[in-house]
Structures are given as structure tokens and as C-alpha cells.
Structure 1
């Protein structure tokens, strides 16, 4: 028993070392942003890896962001777009996944391949056509345009992940609910959805981060002052010849907080969803 433990120990040590190294690589940029957001401009360039000291500590970046920009408006726009997009992605994605996994019909497999094709092809390749459609619909410089694009972008991945999890729900539970006279709508929301909460949390996290961090579509579809998202609003501090790094880093630090909070809230469900999907 002891010999087997000695054989396993080096491999476990390597795995933990690799995970620790990845953790450092992932957290280092975030930590650098927060550290330098509390420093004077000169200290940022003199020693960007140093912690703020009483001599270098400064909140000038946060004062500039809060005083010279409508940062709360940008946060509100990002929040509305992200929450609305996630709601429709999870709702429509779960319903489509339920139909594909529960009901077998002609063309079922081809429809799944069609959605998989949507994962492989970046939606940005159709930017010109998307812009033309939004112009014809009068949706340019509206948050609705962003929500529609992000829902179309997130649905393929959501459908593929959720359909795999729904296929693992025991059929006996659904058959028992049908025998009790429960309609399909209630079976879906009261029986199936609670059982796939880890998958839903996984889809939510993987979908939320690209939407919150996206700069491409807000710049093209909603660049007006009233519809700017937080990532687009930060760009006003980046000039062609000069960049206010205190304000940029402070705004980035504020933009990172919601993503970190979301991950902290759903990390347990996210890990359960990933590990469950790994053995299916």
C-alpha cells in the first residue's frame, strides 16, 4: 500500500504543480491591474510589479473615472445586456436542448450538427451583414441589437452542453411525471431543469464572460454615449497620443469585479458541471 502511494505521489505532485502554475498565470494579470490602479502614474511605470506604498498610493484613477465619465451608466448598460442575453440564451437553449434530447424526429442529428457548426464559425465573420440588418430594423445604437447578437452567439454552445446533460436525466422520472398527469411544460421546468443546474451554471459563466468583455459589437452596433457598455466606455481614456493609465486601470478594475463575483457565487456549480460533463 505504501509503495503504491509512493508511485502515485509524483504524478499528483506534478498535477498540483501544473494547476498552481496555471492559477498564477490566470490571476497575475488581474492582480497587476488592481495593484497599479491604486498607484500614482509615475509609480506604475517605475515598478509595475510593486505593491502600493504610502508614498505611491493614490485614488486619482478612480476619481477620474467617477468624475469624468458616466461609469454607472456604462455599468448599467453592460448589466442589462448581459442579464437579458443570459436569460434568453438559457431559456431558449434549454428548451431547444430538451426538444433535441427528448423527442426523436427526422433530421434530429442534422439539426444538432447545424448548431455545432454555429460554435465553429465565429459570428464576427458576419459583422457587415449583421450591421445591415440592424440598420434596416432601426436597431442601431440600441441595447436590443446587442442582446439579439449575443443570444445568437451563445445559443449553439448552450444547446450542445445542455442537450448532453438532459440526455442523462433518467427517463423513469419523466415517465412517472407523465403518469401523474403532469404536462410537458411542467416536466421541463419542475423536473428536468432542477436536475441540470450545474450545466446551466456552466453555460451561464462561459457565456457571461465573453458578453461582458466584448468590445467589437458595442463599438459597431451601439457606440452612442447612452448605449456604451463598460468596455467601450473605458476607451475614452485611451488616446492616440496619450493614455490616462490611472483611469484605464481603475476602470478595468471596476469592470473585473462583477465577473469575479459571479464566479465566486457559481464556482461550485461550475466545477460540478465541468466534472460531470467530463465523464459522460
Structure 2
């Protein structure tokens, strides 16, 4: 009994140490956003002499951060919504309907996991040019949706296959259509998988630097990762403004993770314990 208590205490110690190491950079970033450049270089690990929002006010004056923030929100939310809708319907079809081409279709989605989308940047650029989507947020939404569907279908298909077929048969007897079964019966049961899909794709779209750099040229249409590059000067960098921008850009990801963290953890551990 004492051995079990000692092992559990040791586990808690390691868990708290890991949490401290993981959260320390975030805390340091937030604290540094209230400092001046002189304070950051002279006392990088200390608390600021005074907590003031002056740095954040300067940030909004130095760059159009409001545009960057709104563009990132629009692109990330629209991409996640489209990915969740399309992937849920595709995964439901692959998990519940057996035709000759079901295996081939499922393998087609798996290919999207094997081949990095960045390898096709030149064809993608030409495609967006022909569609008239260059220098438009729609180009990013389309690319993020296409790149996020394969892994989302892979995750959701596995969850749909774990659900008992009897639930659908009972709903069909009550007069539900296939879409009503999916929307009213199955989707509430796979919330852990949906939470996993939402967090993975939101973070991927929010933090992406490559595609906005290629497809967006107008300053007011840039997302946060590309827009923040303005703060890096050729000879000097205002690190207080940079930390303030990073703090604001991290808030939506923290909020999304807090809202969907329970479903995310259940999705990661689903099937591990019978």
C-alpha cells in the first residue's frame, strides 16, 4: 500500500515538473509583453517594474494587428467548419456503406496523409491564379480545408466504426433519414473525435506561415504569422511589441483548447482501455 502511494506521489511530482516546464515559456512571453526592450535585455527573467498596457497600444499603432487577427479568425474558423462537415459525411459513408469502391476511396484519403501538400505549391499557385483566388482569404480556406480533410476522415471513420449499428437501425425505424441519423444520433456520440479534429486543424491553420506568405500580398489580408514579420527590423527588433503580438495571437488557441480539451483527451485515449 505504501509502495503504491509512493509511486503515485512520484508520478505527481513528475507531472507538476512537466507542467512547470511546459507553461514557463508561455508565462515568460506574457510577462515580457509588459516590459520595455531595456528590461527584456537587462532582466529577462524578472517581473516588469510596472504592469502597463502601453506596449499593446503601441502594437495596434505600429501594425494593422486588428486586420491580422480578424483574417486569422476568419480563415481558421471557416476551414475548421468546412473540414468538420465534409469529413463527418465522408467518414460516415466510408464506415457504414460497403461498395466495391469503398476501400479505394478510403485509400484515396489516406494518400493525403502520405503526400505533403507543400510539394504541389507550384500547381496550387497556378490553380489559384486561374480561379482568381490569389490575394484572397478564400485561397487559404480552400487549401486548409483540402489539407485537413484526410486526417479528419481517418480519425472520424475509426470512431464511426466503433458505434453500434443498432442505434442507426432504431433511428431508421423511427423514420430518420441518413442525414438525420448522422446529425441527431451519431455526431453527439463522436464529440471526442470532433474535438480532436477541431483542435488539430485550428492550430494548423492558425499557425501556418507558408501558404499566407505565398498567396497573400495585400497588407490588410495577411494573417498573424506573416503580419508579425513586420516587427522584425533589419537592424533592430522591438521585442516588447513582438511578445505582445505573440500573447494576443496565442489567446484564441488557448480558448479553443480549453473549450475542447475534454473531448480532445477522450479522443486521444479512446480505445486504449476496454
**Could you tell me whether the CA contact under 8 Å between 2:64 and 2:220 is conserved in 1?**
no
From 141, 147, 150, give the equivalent of 1:153. Answer: 147
**Could you tell me whether the CA contact under 8 Å between 1:89 and 1:154 is conserved in 2?**
yes
Cα distance in 1 between the residues matched to 2:252 and 2:45? 24
Cα distance in 2 between the residues matched to 1:125 and 1:34? 36
Relative to the length of structure 2, the TM-score reads: 0.93
Cα distance in 2 between the residues matched to 1:228 and 1:212? 12
Q: Does 1:42 align with 2:38?
A: yes
Q: Deviations over 1:122-178 (max 9, x none)?
A: 222222221111112111110000000000111111101111111111111100111
Q: Does 1:126 align with 2:126?
A: no
1:173-192 matches, cutoff 5 A: 173-192=167-186
Q: Does 1:240 align with 2:234?
A: yes
**Could you tell me whether the CA contact under 8 Å between 1:40 and 1:58 is conserved in 2?**
no
1:1-280 matches, cutoff 5 A: 2=1, 6-9=2-5, 11-54=7-50, 57-279=51-273
Deviation at 1:7, TM superposition (A): 4.2
Q: 1:153 to 1:18 in 2, by over 3 A?
A: farther
Cα distance in 1 between the residues matched to 2:17 and 2:119? 35
Relative to the length of structure 1, the TM-score reads: 0.91
Cα distance in 2 between the residues matched to 1:119 and 1:14? 38
Aligned residue pairs total: 274
Cα RMSD of the aligned pairs, angstroms, is 1.8
**Could you tell me whether the CA contact under 8 Å between 1:165 and 1:277 is conserved in 2?**
no
- Note the residue ranges of structure 1 that are not aligned, 5 or more in a row: none
Deviation at 1:11, TM superposition (A): 4.5
- Note the residue ranges of structure 2 that are not aligned, 5 or more in a row: none
Deviation at 1:117, TM superposition (A): 2.6
| Secondary structure in 1 matching 2:217 | coil
Worse-superposed segment, 63-72 or 247-256: 63-72
**Could you tell me whether the CA contact under 8 Å between 1:93 and 1:162 is conserved in 2?**
yes
**Could you tell me whether the CA contact under 8 Å between 2:135 and 2:218 is conserved in 1?**
yes
Q: Deviations over 1:240-270 (max 9, x none)?
A: 2221211111111100111111111222222
Cα distance in 1 between the residues matched to 2:201 and 2:272? 19
Q: Deviations over 1:55-103 (max 9, x none)?
A: xx45443122111222111111111101100010000010110011001
